[in-house]
Each structure stands twice: as C-alpha cells, then as structure tokens.
Amino acid sequence: MRVALRYAKAIADVATEKNVASDVYNDMNMIVETIRESQDLQTLLKSPLLHSDVKKGALESIFGGKVNAVSMDLMQLLITNKRIDILDVIAERYISLADTLAGKQVATVTTAVALTAELEAQILAKVKEITGNDATLESIIDPEVIGGFILRVGDVQFDASVASKLKALKVKFENNRYTA
C-alpha cells in the first residue's frame, strides 16, 4: 500500500529530525502488537460509523503517555486525514523501513517442529553469509511441512520441506503416467 509507505517515510524523517527514531520504532512495535491482539481495536479503527472523536479518545486512552509525541501526532494526523484505519500497516512499514536502513532484515523459517537455539544460530549465520546483513529470525511451526524447512528472506524463498519434495514427486509420477 503506497500511502502507508509514504506516511512511514514521513514519520521516519520527522523521528530522525527530532532524534527520537528508536523511541518511535519501539512505539510502532507496540502499536502493531496492540492492534494485532485486539479485535475490538481493529473494529474500532476500521469502522466508518464511529466518529473520529471516538477513535481519537480510544487511542489516547490506550497509547497516551506510553508513546512518543511524534507517534501521537501521527495518530492525530491519520484521524484528521481519515486514514486511521491503516495505522497498523503504516507502523509495519515504518518498522520494515527502519530495519532496512539499519541493515537488518527478517528471516522467516517455517518448520514442522520448534527449532533449537543451535539451529536458529546456524540459520541466522547462513542468512548473514548469503545476504551480508544481520537478520532477526521469525519462526513459524506448521506440521504440514512434515520435515525440513522453508526459509524466506525478503523476496527470496528457499523451500527444503518434505511436503514440497513429495508434491514435486507426485507431479512427476502423474506426468509419467500420462506419457507412458
């Protein structure tokens, strides 16, 4: 969503100018988590029926005194511009933008079972070797992977899962059955 990225860049510029970029980064993480965890807050922010004063009051009671003035100003601007429904998307874009500028990235690994600390360290080392950047690891457990893993870094995905190998084998058998 382009508009979310434009807001994220603008807030990054203001935060850097006022030397509060790390505070705003922490605020954006808190905002994303709070919205993600509250269905009621998601509904409130997205509802076209609720007046902006109600939304403003709710956000002030939730985040007032807990976030930097720059973050509160962003919320006020979004309310004024009738864009408060994309607050979570803007916060996610800000986090991503700040991580990119800091040379960090998120590597997502999907496995059938939880990773050990040793495997996590090996995966992070491999990501750094491949990309040249440090990364934080987000681990997803999905039993349908069966075994192996799926690693995603940015737009690149490496699928070494048993499920994908079985799927490829099935396609190969089906193709051979019709050509024989």
Residues 84-115 pLDDT 10s: 999 999 999 999 889 878 877 888 899 989 88
Q: Give the pLDDT confidence score for residue 89 in this predicted structure.
A: 94
Q: Where are the beta strands (DSSP E) in 25-147?
A: 104-111, 134-141
Shared domain check, 109 and 140: yes
Q: Which of 61, 79, 100 is the last residue of a domain?
A: 100
pLDDT at res. 179:
60
| Total number of domains in the chain | 2
Q: Residue written as tokens 């024989």?
A: 180
- Domain of 161 in residue numbering reads as 103-179
- One domain for residues 87 and 59: yes
User: pLDDT under 50 in the chain at which residues?
Assistant: none
Strand order in the sheet with 148-153: 134-141, 104-111, 148-153, 156-161
Confidence at residue 103, expressed as pLDDT on a 0 to 100 scale: 75
Claim to verify: residue 89 and residue 141 sit in the same structural domain: no
Judge if 164 and 125 occupy the same domain: yes
| Among 44, 31, 19, residue whose Cα is nearest residue 71 | 31
The pLDDT score that the predictor gives to residue 110 is 92
* Domain stops at, among 100, 126, 143: 100
Boundary of a domain, candidates 78, 100, 122? 100
Long-range CB contacts (within 8 A, 24+) of 119-126: 123/151
- Same domain for 112 and 35: no
Q: What is the pLDDT of residue 126?
A: 83
Residue 166: predicted pLDDT = 86
The pLDDT, as a whole number, for residue 178 is 63
Under 8 Å between Cβ of 86 and 78: yes
Q: Do 169 and 84 share a structural domain?
A: no
Q: Are residues 43 and 93 in the same domain?
A: yes
Residue 63 shares a structural domain with residue 92: yes
